[in-house]
Structure formats: C-alpha cells, structure tokens
Structure 1
Amino acid sequence: MKHLLPRRDGIGGVKRTMDKFLESRWFLRGFALLMASLMFATVNSPDDQPTNTSSPQNSAETIENVPVDTMYDEESLVVSGVPSTVNITIEGPTQIVQTTNALRDFRVFLNMSDLEIGTHEVPIQHEGFSPQLRVTLSEPVANVTIDERVTEEFSVDAEYNSDIIPAGYELDELTVNPETVTVTGAKGIVESIRHVRVFVNLDSEIESEETVQGSVQVLNGDLDKLPVSVEPATVDVSISVLQPSKEVSLVPVQTGTLEDGLVVENLALASDTVTVYGQQDAIDAISEIEVPFDLTGVTQSGSRIEVPIPLPDGVEELSQSSVSAVVTFEETEEASAEPANPQEDVEEPESQAPDEEEEENAEPTDQAENEEQNTDTDQELTLSALPVEIRGTGDDLRAAFQNPPGGELSLRITGEPEDVENISEEDISLYVEADNLDEGEHELEVQIDGPPEVTYILSQASVTIQLAEA
C-alpha cells in the first residue's frame, strides 16, 4: 500500500508564499500607513523645520533710508505728504539678498500721474528687485495732497537783535539785497504766507557798518516755517549805525575861594563848544554844559586852568574830555590900599601839607617866595580833578579813599611860559605807595610824576585810604 506524502517545493514554495503575502491588499494598506506616519513625523519635527533666517541658503536684510521718487506733472502741480525715504526689508536666497543690498539697482516711487488735485492715498511701489525676493516696505502707502503750483514775488524784511546796537547808538540804515525773492509752492500754502524775512545774526556789536548773508524764512501767521522753495534762498543784509550828536555851548562857572582883593575879570575858555554823543532824546534836551573852575589858590592873572567837562545824563561820549580856561584878575581898591600879605600866600600850601619835620615845611615857603619873585614872568596852570593812583596793594588787599572821598586832587603848576603852556593832564600822574601796609586806615603822602622844570602845588599834600581784605 502506497502512502501519499505532501509535495515539498523547497525554497520556491517559500518565495511563492512571500509574494502572495506582499501582494496582499492588507499588507499594502499597512505599509502605506506606516510610510505616511513617518513622513508626517518628519515634516512636523521642530528640530528639522527650516527657516529663512537660519537656513544657509536664505537670509533677510533691511535697507534703510531709501529715497522715494515721485511721478507727476511738476510744472503745474505741487505734491505734499510724500515721505522722503522708506526702509525696505528683503528676504530670499542669501546670495541674491547680499547682491541686491550691495548694488541697490532698484527704485521706490509714487506714481501720481493720473491723479487730480486733492488728497489721495497712494501705494508706494518698487521695481528692480529679483522675483526670488520678498520685499516689504516700512510705509506701504502715503497720504498725499496735490495742489496747483503757483509762483509769487515777495519783499524781504530784515530783522535784528537790538543787542548788536552799541549803547548811545541808533540804527542808521538797514537794506536787503535783493529786496525781493520768488516763492514757489502749493497754492494754498503760498496764500497762507504772512512773513518773508531774514534775520541779522551777529556775535558782537556793530562798530559802524556790517554786511552779512542770511537765509530767507517764509512763515505763516503762527510763525511756522512753510514748505516752499525760495529763489534766491539767501540774501545780503547791510546794517549801519550812527551815534546821534549835537554841538552845545560850554559855560564856565567860577567856584572856590579867591584871595582877598582879587576879582575875576574874565574866565576865557580855550574852546566855547563841545560835541555830545548819545541817545537822540537825551541830547535834544541839552543846550549848554556848565563847567566849574575851582579858583582856590589861583593868584596870578593869566593862569591857565584845565578841568574835566561834566558828562550830562544820557550822554555817552564827548568830543573832548576836558577844557582849559585863562583867568584874568582885576584888583579891587581895597586890594590896592592893602596888598595881600605875602606870608599868607606862603602859608596856604603849608596848611594843607602833612605835619612833618620843619625842614620839609620850609620847602613850600621857599617855593612861594620864588613864586612871588617871579610873578611877572611865571605862568600858572591849574589842573582839576586829577585821579590819585594807589600802588602796591597787591591782590590780597583792596583800597578805598577816605579823604578825599573821590580820590581826586587839584594841582597848581607854575613855571616859565614855554614850560607850562604845553602841559596837559596826560603829562601828570599822582600816586601814593601802599607797599607793606596792613589792613586799616593810612595817611599817605601824594607823589607827583611830571615835567621836572616846573613847580607843583597840590590842593592837599596827603590822602587817607582804607585797606581791607580783598
């Protein structure tokens, strides 16, 4: 009896079984599901997801201050509200981004060619960028106003700061060259113009005349600067000042105490007039200036006395600071009968000299005797209000006059006519030495610097000063 055994195909049978399994519908569905899951996981993985900024193939850069061009009828229209520049951000392949930023071969513009007068919202356009780039503008649109273009001529007013006019001076002339300018702008803006001016800007006072260049400003009623074009944009401004002046009379006035028996016959001024400078309203009120002549101690007829001219209120300057006069005496009958005691003439300067040793007091006496002997030949000059200089106080002390309070003295000068007649205040210096003195009150002898060939007699031989810590 034969047994029937199953047929074994070996490897070929296994292959047929696998082929049958792989061709199974359920296997294909499962495999597709597995692949889809893997792909989904790969795409949504945060670690593997690429970005433009981190990818070595893509990048982004911002280009700042790119000018905005405009397209419209510039001959008849004016546009306002257009931004002068915008910022542009470009994204894309790194090489293209870098090349675009380096070459900048692109354009940003507003096309308003077809727009009418009025206000419009206009998109800002661009061209010249690679299509592979993503372009973003910081201002994608602009609100613009289109108006009729007009041109008008305006006069230019010049303005200045009063601080540039020196004290005592007034404005003489202020001119602008050219006198008018041409202003171009939107009709509505030009109609709002209220001021067209130039400001004179100087760092110091004007001495006589200055010419400066200034920018023309166009303003509305609120003094806001208007967006218009001006031709020319700068003008020349010439400004000059003058010091009002007037010639007034000088009137000599006798002061002081005369010696007994002397009467002034004449006090003749070397100059009868002086020119005063100052504000116009101040000098208009002045017709004459009284000049006091202190004749105390003057005994010789023909003596010349020089004194400072008082400065009236409101006057800044005089054409001369001092004036001289020649005094002529007329003796009275009493003086003829009882001539003045010569000793009195000697004692006058002694009474004003400091109390010193007797030999020092004898010197003015001899001087007075010499004056009496040379009365017929000597000439006399009196200088009034001469300042006394305090020397040697240093930086640690400050000095003030106690007697005389103003620190001024009169000086009588006698000598040969040729020696005296040419002497003036500029030739004489009065001073005291305050070296090595402490704080407090001090009486100091007055020293005289001047021509040596004449004789000097001070109204007082010493002055009192007060020294205090500076």
Structure 2
Amino acid sequence: MDKWFNSRWFVRGISLIFAAVLYIFVQVEIDQYDNDDSRIFPSGNEEVATIEEMPVSIRIDEDNYVVSGVPQTVSVTLEGSESTLTATARQKNFDIYVDLEGLEEGTHTVELKHANVPRELNAYIEPKTIEVTIQERATEEFTVSTDFINTDKLPQGYELGESTTEPKTVAITSSKDIIEQISIVKVFVDVSGLKEPIDNREVPVNVYDARGNELNVQMEPESVEVSVDIQNPSKSVPVTLSTMGELPEGYTMSSISANVDKVKIHGKSEVLTGIEKVSTEKINLNDINESGTIDVGLALPDGAHIKGNKKIEVAIELEQTRTFQDVPVDVENVGDGQEVTFIEPESASMDVTINGLQKPVSNVSAEDITATVDAGGLDPGQHQLPVSLEGPENVELTGEFEQVTVEIT
C-alpha cells in the first residue's frame, strides 16, 4: 500500500477520479436548483429562491422597430447568502432584459440577461435564450366602426338613432406586416334593454384581420367614447271599425262609433311608415241584440303596439222592428141607434208594426197601441174610413191597412 502512495501515477489517478466525482456532484446540484419550484430552501451555507413571473424589458430603438417573441415574464432563480437573497427576492429590485441593440431586421436567437442583481447572488433565468423577430415599426390611422349587439333585445318599439364615436380614428402601431393585415377596427356596444340614450360610454377598441382573428397591436387611444340615441317612434292614426256576421232578424244598425277617432301607436320607423290606419278586432254582429257599449281590442299590425289599455269602447245603437197581431180597431163617435159593421177587413182588428230605436221599441206592449176610426156624422151606408194609430213617443207605427170599409145601419 505504501508503495502505491509513493507512486506518482497512482496519486494522479486518484486525484483524477476525485475531480470527476466532484464535477458530477456540482452539475447535479445545479440541475436540482434549476428544476426546484420551492421559494427558499437551504443548501449548505447558501440559500436558493425562485421568483416566478419576473417581467422582461426590451432594449431596442422603439421608435423604428417592433419586436415579437419576447415573453412578458420569465422565472428567475437566485442563489446566495440568506440575508441578501431574502431582501432581493422580496423587493425584486433587479431587471431582466433582452438586448437587441444593433441587430438587424429578421429572426434572431438571443440570450436573456439580468441587471442590478447583487454581487453576492447568482441568477439563473428560465428560459435562458429566446427566438425573437425584429421588424420595422409602422403607424397608420384607422377609422373606428361601431357594432351594436343585442339589438333584438331592445324593448318593444325602441330603435337606435344616430350614433357618434369620439375620436373617430385611432393610430395603430406595429410592424408593416401586421399593419397590412388589419381589416377591421371596431368597438362593440351592448344595447340590450336600453330605453335611454347612451352618453359618452367608454368602449375598448378591437382590431381584427380579414378572417376575424384579433391582432395584438399598440393603439392610441386604446378606447373611444360612444354616444347613441335610443328612440321610441310613434304615430297617430285613425281607428276603423271592423264587423262580421249579421244582426239578428228584426234589428238594423242605427249607428256604430268608437270613443276615440285616433290612437297613438309605437313601433320602429320602418313599421310605422306602412301603417295608415288601425282596425278593431272583428265585432260579431250575430251576438248583438241590444244597444249599448262594448270593449273591443285593436288589431295592431306586427311590430306595432300602444301604451296602456289596448281596448277601446264602441257604442252601438240598434233599431228594432216588431209586429203586434190583431190589434183591435175601435170605432169612435157612432151615432145614436147606429150600428157599424166591418166590410173590409171583415174583423175589427189589424196587425200593427212598430219601428224605432231598440230600447224604446223593446219596452212597447200591445196595450200601448190603439187603432181607431171616426164614424161621427156619417149617414147609413158604406164608408171608407182612415185608420188612426197611436202609441209611445219615438216609435213609428205602421198599420196593416191605411183605411177600412164599414157599413153603418
């Protein structure tokens, strides 16, 4: 054994083996640090902390170039003494950046770097390298259009009026390639349930290509103010009465009228333009046998409505005709000793028809009607005498005969 240790080659071999083992150990420890998600843990005399979502800044001539491919945040592992490490991890008072100064347009693989990390600490950035694309910066103005959504959910009869956008244009900055892809620049305004105008509502601007894919660009400003008038158009139109069927036998229509001549209807402008009048729902005359007032609904066209009560009052005045049979015909002023015999008609009675407004006519009875002839001062023989009819006021009476033939003996 002593001979081995006295041999230079043996000592060199042992040293080489120890160096290889030490190298492998260090590499394993570094890999463990890179993959460990813990915030702070001990490792011998040093501590390790991992900071997630550390923002990345870009160093480039931003007036002339734009860059894509740079992540917004990265993960940074710090290693060093506990006191310095704890303060640095808590305050995050260091920078992670990618330096693109001096690089030309195109795609480059670059290394992420750190600045202001205390000397006592080692910093490991994940990912270490990234692929970025540098392009010439371009700025162009675009007109902002407005897309109103849920217009079908506006209250009945309401519609959109004039709208304004302030400002009307936005300046969009990006690479020339992206600027050329821009097809749509618009804002979306939800008008569901609105009854009052929108006044200077701030709405974000959206940018899309021709396929509807949203583009990530810089805008100035990023939002605009939208104002829109909400209208509830109305129109006054005449009311017409609509009927169906026929009145029962013995009745005729004297008059029919509504309690209003016009009604105010509401609806969208294109609906109201084509409406010149509004009809009632059909009134079934078959069911009407007396004068009076009924409530009738309005047959409103599609898309039109009225506020409040949707019915109107309709006054109906009927005329009625009735016939009383065998009304006695009385002979007045017959002379002493004279007798009167009816020749034509043979019976001393006749049918009497009455006509007039339904209510007074309906109250008439046979006892209310009298039919008479005057035989005063007549000599014996046959005579034609006119028949006189009397009855209630406001009722027209018509007898079966205007005159009768009698014989006086």
Query: Do both proteins adopt the same fold according to a TM-score greater than 0.5, normalized to the shorter chain?
Result: yes
**Matching residue of 1:195:** 184
**Matching residue of 2:354:** 339
User: Is 1:242 the counterpart of 2:210 in the alignment?
Assistant: no
**Matching residue of 2:47:** 59
Distance 2:275 2:161 in 1: 22
Change in CA separation of 1:198 and 1:254 when aligned onto 2, cut-off 3 Å: closer
* Match runs of 1:265-414 below 5 Å: 265-279=254-268, 282-291=271-280, 292-293=282-283, 296-299=288-291, 305-318=293-306, 321-328=310-317, 337-339=352-354, 345=362
Distance 2:205 2:359 in 1: 81
Distance 1:187 1:67 in 2: 26
Secondary structure of 2:229's counterpart equals strand
**Matching residue of 1:148:** 136
Q: 1:62 Cα shift?
A: 1.7
Secondary structure of 1:223's counterpart equals coil
Normalised by the length of structure 1, the TM-score is: 0.55
User: Is 1:113 the counterpart of 2:101 in the alignment?
Assistant: yes
Change in CA separation of 1:293 and 1:31 when aligned onto 2, cut-off 3 Å: closer
**Matching residue of 2:163:** 174
Structure (1/2) with the larger strand percentage: 2
Distance 2:87 2:6 in 1: 45
Change in CA separation of 1:217 and 1:69 when aligned onto 2, cut-off 3 Å: same
Q: 1:345 Cα shift?
A: 4.5
Tell me which amino acid in the other structure corresponds to 2:180: E
Deviations 1:211-248 (A, max 9, x none): 43211111111222222122221222223343454443
**Matching residue of 1:432:** none
Distance 2:361 2:319 in 1: 19
Deviations 1:51-109 (A, max 9, x none): 68865313333222222222111222222222222112233455554454345443221
Distance 1:189 1:222 in 2: 13
Distance 1:214 1:95 in 2: 48
Tell me which amino acid in the other structure corresponds to 1:266: S
Normalised by the length of structure 2, the TM-score is: 0.63
Q: 1:218 aligns with which of 207, 214, 237?
A: 207
Mapped contact 1:151–1:184 kept (Cα < 8 A) = yes
Distance 1:116 1:94 in 2: 42
Distance 1:245 1:179 in 2: 32
Distance 1:290 1:222 in 2: 50
Distance 1:342 1:153 in 2: 81
Distance 2:242 2:360 in 1: 29
Mapped contact 1:261–1:334 kept (Cα < 8 A) = no
Distance 1:339 1:207 in 2: 60
**Matching residue of 1:184:** 173
Distance 2:5 2:66 in 1: 72
Secondary structure of 1:152's counterpart equals strand
Mapped contact 2:264–2:306 kept (Cα < 8 A) = yes
Secondary structure of 2:290's counterpart equals coil
Mapped contact 1:56–1:94 kept (Cα < 8 A) = no
Distance 2:145 2:360 in 1: 77
Change in CA separation of 1:287 and 1:111 when aligned onto 2, cut-off 3 Å: same
Change in CA separation of 1:265 and 1:114 when aligned onto 2, cut-off 3 Å: same
Mapped contact 2:296–2:314 kept (Cα < 8 A) = no
User: Is 1:123 the counterpart of 2:117 in the alignment?
Assistant: no
Mapped contact 1:80–1:144 kept (Cα < 8 A) = yes
Tell me which amino acid in the other structure corresponds to 1:224: N
* Match runs of 1:434-453 below 5 Å: none
**Matching residue of 2:333:** none
Q: 1:138 aligns with which of 126, 143, 153?
A: 126
Tell me which amino acid in the other structure corresponds to 2:133: T
User: Is 1:160 the counterpart of 2:160 in the alignment?
Assistant: no
Deviations 1:104-139 (A, max 9, x none): 443221112212222222221223335554432112
Distance 2:393 2:114 in 1: 110
Q: 1:31 Cα shift?
A: 6.7
Mapped contact 1:261–1:339 kept (Cα < 8 A) = no
Distance 1:247 1:71 in 2: 69
Distance 1:30 1:327 in 2: 136
Change in CA separation of 1:375 and 1:173 when aligned onto 2, cut-off 3 Å: farther
Secondary structure of 1:172's counterpart equals strand
Deviations 1:136-173 (A, max 9, x none): 21122222222222222211111122333234443323
